[in-house]
Amino acid sequence: MRRYEQKVYQLAYRLTNNPDDAADVAAETFLRMYNSLRRFRGDAQLSTWLYRVVSNVFFDFRKRESRHQHLPLELSTEDGEEPMELPIEDESVDIIGHALQEEQKRVLMEAIQQLPEYQRVMVVLFHIEERPYEEIAQILGLPLGTIKSRLNRARNALRELLEPYRELFEVDSRPTIGQPQEASDAL
C-alpha cells in the first residue's frame, strides 16, 4: 500500500478533481485490492491491476454519486474569491509565464472534467499517467483497437472543448521566452 498510495491518490484526484472524493476513491481502491488479493493471478503487473481497480472504483463512485444529491458544507463567498495560494518565493521565476501555465492547466483540467467519464479515464491514463495503450487495455479490460478509437474520440472532444480558449494555448500569444507546449500538441 505504501508503495502505490501516492500514485493511486494522484490518479483518483485527476479523475475526480476533488481531494475528498479522491481520498474516498483511493481508500475504496485499497480496500477492494485487499479483499481480492487472492484472486490476483499475476497475468499483468500489479500496477496495471491497481489502475484497473482505481478506474472501476471511480466508475462505481460516480454511479453512487449521481443517485444522491450533495449539498456543499462550505459557505460560498459573495465575491467569488478563490483560495489564496502561497506567493512564489523564487524572484527569478517568469511570473507571466507561470500565470499563463497555471491558467492553461486550469482550463485544460476543467475541459477534461467535462468529458464523459470513460473518455476522461482514457485521457488521464494515457496523457497524464503516461500509460501505454496495451496497459490501458488491460486496466479497462477492453480490446486495443477500442482503446485507440476511444482515445481518439476523447482527444477530438477535448479539442472542441478547448476551441474557445485557442488563444490561451497558441505559442505566439505568449510575450516571453520559454513557451509552454500547446495543449493541442500535448494531446
Structure confidence by residue, pLDDT tens digits, 110-136: 999 999 988 999 999 999 888 899 999
122 is written with which cell numbers? 482514457
The per-residue pLDDT for 173 is 47
The per-residue pLDDT for 91 is 47
Domains of the chain, earliest start first: 5-67 (1.10.1740.10), 95-175 (1.10.10.10)
User: What pLDDT, in 10s, does the model give residues 160-182?
Assistant: 999 998 888 875 444 444 444 44
User: What pLDDT, in 10s, does the model give residues 15-60?
Assistant: 888 899 999 999 988 888 888 777 777 676 777 878 888 888 888 8
Is the whole-model pTM more than 0.75?
A: no
Write the DSSP string, the chain.
Answer: -TTTHHHHHHHHHHHH--HHHHHHHHHHHHHHHHHTGGG--SSS-HHHHHHHHHHHHHHHHHHHHHHS----SSPPPTT-PPPPPPPP--TTS-HHHHHHHHHHHHHHHHHHHHS-HHHHHHHIIIIIS---HHHHHHHHT--HHHHHHHHHHHHHHHHHHHGGGHHHH-GGG--SSSPPPPHHHH-
The per-residue pLDDT for 112 is 92
Could you give the CA distance from residue 45 to residue 22 in angstroms, rounded to a whole number? 23
User: What pLDDT, in 10s, does the model give residues 63-78?
Assistant: 887 766 555 555 454 5
The per-residue pLDDT for 179 is 42
The per-residue pLDDT for 114 is 93
